[in-house]
């Protein structure tokens, strides 16, 4: 068998890179659980009609077929996000769930898109959502981005800025300037970064807006601020609409809370549209400083009906982190790395195969105090055993013949008691170092 080549779009990390990923996922989990979000995992597959029901056929779903079955037996595809399966799970288990339901979900998703930088066919997302039955209090739209900003602040990533808008504000405004279908205006504004203001203006005119109305919509999209001052700018445009007022009030509340609790990390940005139709309130996008070309690395919003079973609807608010997209970039550029490629803290040397049991005994003693320990695989020359540790970044080598422990970073070798010795806390586990932390 020849050496296989990697599969484009299906990233796999080396052991040291995987340690960085574990660190990131553990950290996300810790923050989410600290805020009372419970873990959920859904199956990888959904019925195809569910996956395609929002017309999201552009997601390039992977369809499954059992190899021995007649064509198309399964009617199943791999999920392309964690929202569709979550909505289905909530409906299926609504009788067994307490609402409001706070869950986080960290899983792989699959999209058969053309692989490119920052676009994978298999990648890990980390979602948090709060879903309630029939009604969901607005304050969750204030709370959720703060949880996520706290999660990002704990990660070995560059600083992020979350850009926030409100669908009610936008739709009320568009209606206020005379748009028959605000969603058409929204879709045009969504293209602002791609095609520029002139072409957007042309499109707005084509939808039947007057020059003045189109100009107002573009002026609205130009408003951005890290504090509530944006509200005056919106008011200055002189558009009147009750939905606009409601949305404006909501966005001010989000911005005010963030200004106090996560200063500088969240800005009102009135051009944020989010393509998806189902958002109905606050919408969020997040950029990673220095990696703006990746696009939004954490997006979401408020939806009034995640799902409905005829009897109840389930409104919610959610945010989704593109973990693989961020990690792929930061690992490739060396911006984050692990201090070693193995969990091991101590390698116990072996003098001779006949004394391996003595080395095993030292290892058991260290492990009983939570110190990750390996025993040398062979009784090679000590130089070779030390090299074995050094190559993996294992910080200590233990010599059982005279119970001494060598610190490979200093070269110092000192007597030590296997029943009592402990490494410095910082070396107990591999750490993750970041080139430019939260700059």
Backbone angles phi, psi at 415, to 5 degrees: -65, 145
Nearer Cβ to its own copies (88/175): 88
Q: Distance of alpha carbon 402 from its chain centroid, rounded?
A: 49
| Cβ contacts of 42 within 8 Å, gap of 6 or more | 79, 82, 85, 86, 88, 89, 105, 107
Instruction: Confirm or reject binding of residue 426 to its own copies (CB under 8 A).
Output: no
Q: Which of 33, 181, 202, 211 binds its own copies (CB under 8 A)?
A: 33
Which residue in the set 24, 84, 88, 272 belongs to the binding site for its own copies (CB under 8 A)? 88
Helix, strand or coil for residue 203?
A: helix
CB 270 within 8 A of CB 165: yes
Distance CA 330, CA 11 (A): 13
User: Given the complex with its own copies, which of 146 and 170 has the nearer CB atom?
Assistant: 146
User: Does residue 74 touch its own copies according to CB under 8 A?
Assistant: yes
Of residues 52 and 276, the one with the C-beta less far from its own copies: 52
Among 84, 169, 307, 337, binds its own copies (CB under 8 A): 307
Q: Which CB sits closer to its own copies, 22 or 207?
A: 22
Q: Which of residues 172-191 bind its own copies (CB under 8 A)?
A: none
User: What does the DSSP assignment read for 166-192?
Assistant: EHHHHHHHHHHTT-S-HHHHHHHHTTH
Ramachandran angles phi, psi of 160, nearest 5°: -120, 160
Binding its own copies by CB under 8 A: which of 28, 86, 106, 110?
110
45 makes contact with its own copies (CB under 8 A):
yes
> Judged by CB under 8 A, which of 309, 412, 435, 436 binds its own copies?
309
The dihedrals phi and psi of 100, each to the nearest 5 degrees, come to -65, 145
**Helical (H) or strand (E) element with 152:** helix 139-153
Q: Which of 219, 358, 372, 428 binds its own copies (CB under 8 A)?
A: 372
For position 423 contacting its own copies by CB under 8 A, the verdict is no
From 98-106, 176-184, 207-215, 288-296, span contacting its own copies (CB under 8 A): 98-106
Maximum alpha-carbon separation in the chain: 90
Q: Dihedral angle at the C-alpha atoms of 90, 93, 96, 101, nearest 10 degrees?
A: -10
For 277, residues 6+ apart whose C-beta sits below 8 A from its C-beta are 54, 183
Coil, helix or strand at residue 100: coil
Dist CA 154 CA 144 (whole Å): 16
Tell which positions 132-161 bind its own copies, by CB under 8 A. 132, 137, 139-140, 143
- Binding-site member from 212, 229, 235, 308 for its own copies (CB under 8 A): 308
- Residue 61 makes contact with its own copies by CB under 8 A: yes
Q: Is 265 in the site for its own copies (CB under 8 A)?
A: no
Residues between 276 and 295 with contacts to its own copies, criterion CB under 8 A: none
Cβ of residue 72: shortest distance to its own copies, in angstroms? 10
Using CB under 8 A as the binding rule, whether residue 388 contacts its own copies is answered as yes
**Part in contact with its own copies (CB under 8 A); list of ranges 3-11, 182-190, 265-273, 291-299:** 3-11
> Got the DSSP string for 298-330?
EEEEEEEEEEE-SS-EEEEEEEEEEHHHHHHHH
Token duo for residue 53 = 């029901």
| 41 binds its own copies, rule: CB under 8 A | yes
Strands 266-269 and 160-166: parallel
Residues 345 to 364: which contact its own copies by CB under 8 A?
353, 356, 360
- Asked if 78 touches its own copies (CB under 8 A), the answer is yes
Read off the tokens for 71: 């064509």
Whether 257 and 140 have beta carbons less than 8 Å apart is answered as: no
Nearest-angstrom CA–CA distance, 216 and 223: 11
Q: Under the criterion CB under 8 A, does residue 252 sit at the interface with its own copies?
A: no
Residue 55 binds its own copies, judged by CB under 8 A: no
Q: Does 70 bind its own copies (CB under 8 A)?
A: no
Closest approach of its own copies to the CB of residue 113, in Å: 9
Answer whether 164's CB lies under 8 Å from 40's CB.
Answer: no
Q: Which of residues 94, 159, 280, 339 is near its own copies by CB under 8 A?
A: 94
Can you tell me which of 378, 401, 419, 433 binds its own copies, judged by CB under 8 A? 378
Among 8, 54, 65, 438, binds its own copies (CB under 8 A): 65
Stretch of residues binding its own copies (CB under 8 A), selected from 7-15, 184-192, 271-279, 327-335: 7-15
């Amino acid at each position: 068998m020849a050496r296989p080549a990697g599969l484009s779009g299906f990233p796999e990390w080396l052991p040291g890179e995987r340690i960085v990923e574990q660190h990131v996922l553990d950290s996300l989990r810790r923050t989410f659980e600290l805020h009372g979000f419970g873990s959920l995992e859904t199956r990888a597959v959904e019925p195809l009609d569910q996956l395609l029901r929002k017309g999201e056929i552009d997601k390039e779903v992977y369809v499954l077929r059992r190899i021995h079955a007649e064509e198309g037996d399964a009617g199943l595809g791999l999920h392309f996000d964690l929202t569709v399966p979550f909505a289905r799970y909530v409906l299926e288990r609504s009788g067994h769930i307490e609402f409001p339901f706070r869950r986080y979900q960290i899983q792989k998703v699959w999209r058969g898109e053309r692989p490119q930088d920052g676009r994978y066919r298999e990648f890990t997302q980390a979602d948090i959502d709060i879903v309630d039955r029939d009604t969901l209090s607005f304050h969750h739209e204030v709370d959720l981005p703060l949880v996520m900003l706290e999660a990002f602040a704990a990660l070995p990533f560059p600083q992020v800025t979350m850009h926030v808008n409100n669908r009610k504000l936008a739709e009320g405004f568009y209606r206020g300037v005379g748009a028959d279908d605000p969603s058409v205006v929204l879709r045009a504004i969504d293209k602002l970064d791609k095609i520029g203001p002139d072409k957007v203006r042309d499109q707005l005119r084509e939808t039947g807006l007057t020059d003045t109305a189109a100009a107002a919509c573009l002026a609205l999209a130009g408003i951005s601020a890290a504090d509530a001052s944006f509200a005056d700018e919106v008011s200055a445009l002189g558009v009147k609409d009750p939905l606009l007022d409601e949305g404006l009030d909501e966005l001010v509340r989000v911005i005010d809370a963030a200004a106090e609790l996560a200063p500088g990390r969240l800005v009102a940005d009135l051009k944020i549209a989010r393509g998806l139709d189902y958002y109905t309130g606050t919408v969020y996008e997040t950029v990673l400083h220095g990696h703006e070309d990746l696009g939004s690395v954490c997006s979401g919003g408020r939806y009034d009906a995640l799902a409905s079973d005829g009897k109840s609807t389930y409104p919610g608010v959610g945010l989704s982190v593109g973990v693989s997209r961020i990690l792929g970039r930061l690992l490739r550029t060396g911006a984050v790395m692990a201090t070693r490629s193995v969990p091991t803290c101590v390698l116990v040397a072996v003098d001779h195969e006949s004394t391996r049991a003595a080395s095993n005994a030292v290892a058991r003693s260290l492990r009983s105090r939570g110190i990750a320990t390996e025993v040398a695989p062979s009784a090679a020359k000590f130089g070779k055993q030390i090299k074995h540790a050094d190559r993996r970044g294992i910080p200590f080598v233990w010599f059982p013949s005279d119970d001494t422990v060598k610190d490979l970073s200093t070269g110092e070798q000192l007597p030590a008691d296997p029943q009592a010795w402990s490494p410095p806390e910082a070396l107990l586990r591999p750490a993750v170092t970041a080139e430019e932390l939260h700059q």
